[in-house]
Every structure is written in C-alpha cells, then in structure tokens.
Structure 1
C-alpha cells in the first residue's frame, strides 16, 4: 500500500528502524541553529537591552533599535553573535538529540507508542539538560557582552566572549558562569515541554505528518508548525526570562548583589517596578522565538524528513 507521502511502502519490522536516531536529530538541530542565529541576533540584542532597562531609556522595540544604531553603529545589533551562534548550535544539537533519547526511554515497550505525558516529560528533560549544560554559561557571556554600551575595545570591560568568560571566572568564580541557572532551568524545561508537544500536534493536525512516516513537509509547512509551536512558551515563561537576564547581568565586582536569587528577584522586581515588569521584553521575545523556531524547524525537518524517507521507508 502506498505511503501518505506517495514515496513507497513501509519497510517490514526487520528492515525498519523504530525512529530517526538521536544523532540525526542532533545534526538537524545544529544546522537549524546556525541559520536562526544569523537571522535573528538583532532582535535578541534589543530584547536584552529592554529587559535591562530600569530607567526608561528605550521607548519600545523600534526606539531601542534606532538608539543602538545611532549611538553605537549597526554592528552593535550583532553584539554577542559568536557566543549566540555557538550557543544555539550546541543547544539545538543537545535539545533535539536528548529529546529523541528521552522519547525512546518513555515509549511503551510493547507497542512502541509515545504518550502525551511521555512527550511532555521528554521535552522538559531536554530543556533542563540544555539549560544546565549549554544555555546558562553561554547566555551569561552573551548578556554581559550585550549590556555594554559602545564599540571601542579600550572602553569595554569585556573584549570578547573568551575574555568575558575568563574575567567572570576570575572575579566571581567558576560558578559565576551559572548565574541565573534556576530560572533558566524553569524557562527552558517548560518551553521545550510545550514546544515539542505542540510541534508534533500541529504537524498531525495541519499536515497529517506523523513521526517516522517518511513524509517530508514542505518548508512553508514546517515554518507554520514551528512558528505556532514557538508562541506559547514566551508568554508562560516571561518572568523566568526577565529574572534570568537580571541575575546573569549583575556582577559581584560592582559590590553587593541586588538580587539574591530567583524568588528574591521576582519579589524585588514586582515591588519596585510592578507586575508587568516581569514580562519586559515579551514582544521582542515573540518577535524572535516563534520566527526562530520556524527557521530551525524548516531546516531540521528537511534533514530528518530526508532520513525518514530514505531509511525508515522502503521504496
């Protein structure tokens, strides 16, 4: 019987693997991360500046972007690109690969099916792992670089990503690179639980695409599914993201730390700046994350779809 993709029939049990292997998903995610980083870095810089703005210096996204370009030059919108691109490439490789491993572990041993609970737990586990191993130290460096004003090296405390990391370790200790780890874990775990579950649901509902069926989505289909899957997380995890940024930005070299931890930071921001301050930078996050997921999944789906069509389905 012809497959839904029209490209052949299912292989027999002995000739077909259960699912796309983790290393293929890791490779697909890493390529997607490279493309995403190059396209969306300016929005990430603007988001960080808005989240760190406690004096009202910027009047929205457009004003922030114009101010940065006028006072620091266009290149300032790509500040922190090297750690950002490296971080995204490694993060997506770990995220996609570990999610595939977790899914394999949570599948029913008798039927090979993955429940919605198993999918959520796999996404959350992948998010926690990426937060601790990749995201936190890279974002600490990225945020410290992005918060610096100007482009003259002699006026900047941090001369580049390597120098920034060395300075943080020297002044704050090795674990200074893990400032803000708790809200990062909460943000990424929740985000990935929602994202993987939503992406699979949209693929099935919109395009009748099931994992391992050999059907390769058109790029525009992957973009729509990825965009929709990337919209819910930022709204739910806004406070965690703001607190993460504030904790990562503060340096012990400046004296006593203002924020003592995640809960203390949430309380302090609420008291001093109001409830809505916990969602500062939400609009640029919505401008960056859903399009970023659309770009990443467009690339990743083509790679995994090619593998599924050629190795999981026999012509």
Structure 2
C-alpha cells in the first residue's frame, strides 16, 4: 500500500480523503511552475517568442501582469487535483492491497506499474481531463483574447460552444499521460518504499520527500511527450490529438515533444516530494479520526 508508516491496510475512505488533501496542497504550492510550463508548451504568439527558462517566464508575467496572473487557472487545477489524487490514491491502494504478497505486503515492480496505470485511467475519466482543459484554456486565453473571466465562466462558455466533448478535448493525450504518469509516479514511489521496507529503513518525512522526488524525475522523463500533446489539444480553441501532434512537429520537430521538460522536471521533483509527504501525513491525521468514528458507530450498533 502507499500509505505508510504502519503496516495496516488503509481504508478506502482514508485513501480518498488523504489523497485529495495531498493533491490540493501539491497543486497550489507548485502552480507557478505549472503555469510557466504550460505557457511554453502552447504555440508562441507571432513576434513574441516564449523563453525556455521557467523562472524568466514567471518573472516576465509577474512584472507585466502581477502575482494574480501566475495563478490563472489555479482553482481549476486545485479542484481537479483534489479529485484526481483522491481517486488515484484510492484505486491504487485498493488494487495494491488486492494483489500484494500476503506475507510481505509488497508487489512486484510490474504489478506496481500496472496498478498505477489503472488508477491513472480512472482519474483521467473522472476528474483530470475536464479540469486540465479549463486550466489550459484559461492560461492560453490570458495571453491575448481574455474572454474568460473565471474557471466557471470558461466552463460555461466552452460547454455552450462545444458541448460536453469540448470539456473533454485532449482526452486521449490526457489519459495516456495520466496512465503512464501515475504508473511511473506511484510505481516508482512504491518500488522504492518496498525496497526500504525489506531492509528495515525507517520511513520519515525526509525519506518520503526523497522517494517522491525520485518518482517525479522518472515520471517526467518518461511521459513528457504526452504532456506536450495534451497541452496543445487543450488550448483556448482546442485541437484534436492528431492536429496537436502535427503542430508540434511543424513548430519544433521531434524535439518539440520534450518542450517544457526543464520546467516540468522542476515542478515534479518539488511536487512529487510534497504530494507523497502530504499523503503520508494526512493518513496519520485521518486514520485516528476514522477509527474513532467507526468504533463509535460499531459500539452504537451493538
């Protein structure tokens, strides 16, 4: 299981709640880097090339538009991350519990990756694709047209113009990204954790953060092309996955599929550590509350 300071199985409701808390914290704290990465992956405006340095992007936007501009689309991402990480921790924990070795409580590396991939697909369908679509459209729209006043307004306009499919623009790219990213992120984290458990390495905040950061590096390098395709598909006006692939090749060639890697790498190292550390901490806080409630309900029923 993901959680973990103890060896007990994490109840589904605890996995869902702790994952949601961790996702919200991770999304908000690392959003400026996500903003910069998305700006770089979108098509450059004529005569206004986008710098590759994420800190330069952040600095330029801050000077021209203020701190609020760096959090354009943040609310959509935070809401999506609460749902996404709640769902994927829930499904990952349940899948892992089902297939884990009964004696050691661990999974093989391939089963770890398969569990993460399944959790990623479910998360993409239930939460990630529509919220990522809104976030990306808001960031793209803020560069020129500025017709979206807020996340809710953008959702309403996109739905009115394109229907429900408009909110699921980029579904293929997003699902490929989520399936692979969750497989590598959750899989790598748990492979490292299982390795440490077998060798009696004590889990701590520092160890959890380090494992999460390593998982972030592996995830970014393996899934960046899917992230670039997703961003192009979910721009303000939106394109199909095939059109997104063609536009990337036309603009930058094959190397374009790794555009924004530096920014995403910086974010995932940071956010991966925050995500898993927050999850472990949230489980420790929520478990006693959950145990107290179930004990009280059980006592009342008796």
- Please indicate, yes or no, whether the TM-score normalized by the shorter chain is above 0.5: yes
Say whether the 8 Å CA contact 2:174–2:227 is kept in structure 1: yes
Question: C-alpha distance in 2, partners of 1:27/1:114?
Answer: 24
The answer to whether residue 88 in structure 2 is matched with residue 99 in structure 1 is: no
Say whether the 8 Å CA contact 2:140–2:236 is kept in structure 1: no
Q: CA deviation at 1:264?
A: 4.2
Distance change >3 Å, CA 305–CA 251, structure 1 → 2 = same
Q: What runs of 5+ residues in structure 2 fail to find an aligned partner?
A: 292-302
Question: C-alpha distance in 1, partners of 2:66/2:192?
Answer: 40
Q: CA deviation at 1:107?
A: 4.1
Output aligned runs, 1:69-80, within 5 Å: 69-80=62-73
Deviations 1:92-115 (A, max 9, x none): 111100112222343468997633
Aligned partner of 1:241 among 222, 227, 237: 227
Q: CA deviation at 1:250?
A: 4.6
Q: CA deviation at 1:242?
A: 0.8
TM-score normalised by the chain length of structure 1: 0.80
The answer to whether residue 132 in structure 2 is matched with residue 139 in structure 1 is: yes
Say whether the 8 Å CA contact 2:136–2:235 is kept in structure 1: yes
Deviations 1:133-162 (A, max 9, x none): 1010001111111123379xxx72111111
Find the residue that maps to 1:97 and give its secondary structure. Answer: helix
Deviations 1:200-251 (A, max 9, x none): 122233x4379xx9x9832111110111111111111111111111111152
Aligned partner of 2:49 among 57, 76, 91: 57
Distance change >3 Å, CA 72–CA 21, structure 1 → 2 = same
| 1:201 alignment partner in structure 2 | 191
Distance change >3 Å, CA 272–CA 85, structure 1 → 2 = closer
Q: CA deviation at 1:180?
A: 0.4
Say whether the 8 Å CA contact 1:140–1:177 is kept in structure 2: yes
Aligned partner of 1:88 among 58, 81, 89: 81
The answer to whether residue 23 in structure 2 is matched with residue 23 in structure 1 is: no
Question: C-alpha distance in 2, partners of 1:86/1:250?
Answer: 19
The answer to whether residue 100 in structure 2 is matched with residue 114 in structure 1 is: no
Aligned partner of 1:275 among 251, 254, 258: 254
May I ask how many residue pairs the two structures share in their alignment?
282
Output aligned runs, 1:5-20, within 5 Å: 19-20=9-10
Q: Pairwise CA RMSD of aligned residues?
A: 2.8
TM-score normalised by the chain length of structure 2: 0.84
Aligned partner of 2:155 among 139, 162, 165: 165
Q: CA deviation at 1:271?
A: 3.3
| 1:128 alignment partner in structure 2 | 121
Distance change >3 Å, CA 303–CA 69, structure 1 → 2 = closer
Say whether the 8 Å CA contact 1:158–1:164 is kept in structure 2: yes
Question: C-alpha distance in 2, partners of 1:113/1:89?
Answer: 26
The answer to whether residue 286 in structure 2 is matched with residue 296 in structure 1 is: no
Say whether the 8 Å CA contact 2:26–2:274 is kept in structure 1: yes
| 2:166 alignment partner in structure 1 | 176
